Structure 1
């Protein structure tokens, strides 16, 4: 009764259906944890969403802003020019470009924050990221074009600034991995920090982003990857595999053993966005330090 009253109060306060559904899921997950630990006898938030009018359908319009390829390119350019009043301005700008580029590959913000440097490997002659997704399932994502350039530039500047390069992984004697995206002291960037950084980049994005800057968030870039890929003719099963959509689990299962650059939509999206990020410019033949497969 209390949970239902709370949901009605949220509705009266103007909370959208998706917001109420997400908040209910959070409370239900918390009570599920308490139930597993024997703290409570039941889960009062385990309610029938359909009866509450909170079950989303496939025809429901997405509230996520739809970014164009030009707007994603504007975000990359804005990240490259991001002002930072410290002597490490170059490092922070390159990291900002790397963050936007990784999100523009369709990765979830939690996946970007959770990536280790050892997740960037070479396999089949191609650089790829082994991304730990939902349910502990890893998928292979190809950092092509702007993303590859951004990672190359960021990791090189990070190694130069710290004075040490992370050793390549070789068998069991490898040193502990470090975050792919790190704070100045080498810690892991939080999801909130990445979200805040992206909003700052969007706010400074110029005329191309003026109308959408306040609605840009990490999932908007993931959404953009899917829409840009499909608009440019990428096979939907390749796109689903790129972003790790669970709704095509069967297709993903059959594609996993056949993953090549040709079965990824990464090149399609990179070509649509076009250009290279500013501070990542440099030797076109350079490659980021990676761990061999």
Structure 2
């Protein structure tokens, strides 16, 4: 049972004080917490639970506790909390609390007003779609369990301008193989004292992170990996990855990723003084996180996002103009686009990255929209001839 107070009130104005465990508008906050916890507990992937918690305005630590709190930090240290964005105060539960509204009594009109508030703060359509989907999933569960009579988030998205006949063009930068190579080359340059053990460790970790992201992993999948998730099957070196919806898949390790990972784990075992260092083709000792902080705790998504930005900034001319658009999903996007451009069947690529629908994989196929397939140059040539 989750006993910690649900910290949804810290963004409320001082004119509306509340006890630490209170929830404005809710007479039975402990019951509501348990109802929400029951929904989140259905998701095996801790990254999924965290994403949903943030979208609703729940503390991430509260969502982590649902998973049993099995990730204690070494030496009392924990990764820093992610910075709050401009939408933090209008996440659904916070929006309701600011109005003294019990979320279980919300109507479609309330949800529509909330969406307008998100839009007024500049939330992109994709962000609104994602947050509404999260809300709909929550209320769908509450409706099935008899907590609410209907789903107030089951709105007509077309009228709200949140859907279209085709998916929007992806805003994700299209990284080339040369740019991925530049990231790999820049990764070990962040630390300039190879004679210091901690710098050697951090440099090899940086290379391992970039190399593993070139396999098309989601950032939550990478941070969720344990050393025991690497094994051999059918004579192949694979990672057992937990994707969206708690679905497992096997990701084949390339020689590039395997070499980077082995170098990092061996250095980490030397740094921590592990009794048995990692051997080639093995994830090494223990069942701790695959990618860890120098103190042995699991890296957060924020940690790796910031690391990748630093690597991109050191990437040289190849990354000029795109440094601010390099993030973990850009490397996943690159995996799909490069694989498709090199003739890998789309159904194989879909299985590689764990897309639930092949239409999602098709959305990444930039080969359908290239300079050679656009009419822009033909139109310009016609204008010039005139």
TM-score (norm 1): 0.74
Q: What is the Cα deviation at residue 61 of structure 1?
A: 0.6
Q: 1:52 aligns with which of 136, 160, 165?
A: 160
Corresponding residue of 2:133: 25
Query: For the residues of structure 2 that align with 1:229 and 1:210, how far apart are their CA atoms?
Result: 24
Scaled by the length of structure 2, what TM-score is found? 0.57
Listed one character per residue, the Cα deviations across residues 104-159 of structure 1 (whole Å, up to 9, x for unaligned) are: 11000010011110111112222111112222222111121321111011011111
The corresponding residue for 1:131 is 241
CA distance in 2, matches of 1:248, 1:119: 26
Higher alpha-carbon Rg: 2
For residues 255-290 of structure 1, what are the alpha-carbon distances to aligned partners after superposition, in whole Å with 9 as ceiling and x for unaligned? xxxxxxxxxxxxxxxxxxxxxxxxxxxxxxxxxxxx
Deviations 1:220-267 (A, max 9, x none): 110000000111111212111111111149xxxxxxxxxxxxxxxxxx
Q: After the TM superposition, which residues 252-267 of structure 1 pair with which residues of structure 2 at under 5 Å, given as runs? A: none
Greater RCO (CA < 8 Å, at least 6 residues apart): 1
Q: Which runs of 5+ in 1 are unaligned?
A: 169-174, 250-293
Q: Does 1:102 align with 2:212?
A: yes
- 1:80 aligned to 2:197? no
- Contact kept, 8 Å, 1:103 with 1:221, in 2: the verdict is yes
Q: 1:56, CA displacement in angstroms?
A: 5.1
Q: Does the 8 A contact of 1:74 with 1:209 survive in 2?
A: yes
Runs of 4+ more than 6 Å apart: 36-39
Deviates more, 1:115-124 or 1:128-137: 128-137
Alpha-carbon distance in 2 for matches of 1:37, 1:98? 44
CA distance in 1, matches of 2:160, 2:270: 56
Once residues 201 and 189 of structure 2 are traced to their aligned partners in structure 1, the CA distance between those partners, rounded to angstroms, is: 12
- The match for 1:16 is 124
Superposed, 1:103-118 pairs within 5 Å as 103-118=213-228
The number of aligned residues is 244
Q: 1:176 to 1:36 in 2, by over 3 A?
A: farther
In structure 2, relative to structure 1, the CA distance for the partners of 1:80 and 1:158 (3 Å cut) is same
Structure 1 match to 2:345: 235
- How many Å apart are 1:31 and its aligned residue? 4.8
- In the aligned structure 2, how far is the partner of 1:140 from the partner of 1:131? 6
Question: Conserved in 2, the CA contact under 8 Å of 1:84 and 1:92?
Answer: no
Report the 3-state secondary structure (helix = DSSP H, G, I; strand = E; otherwise coil) of the residue aligned with 1:189: coil
What SS does structure 2 have at the residue aligned with 1:55? Answer: coil
Aligned twin of 2:33: none
Match of 1:223 in 2: 333
Gaps of 5+ in 2: 1-108, 280-284, 360-386
Matched position secondary structure for 1:129:
strand
The answer as to 2:323 corresponding to 1:213 is yes
Instruction: Flag the 1:59–1:44 CA change in 2: closer, same or farther, 3 A.
Output: closer
Match of 1:4 among 92, 112, 119: 112
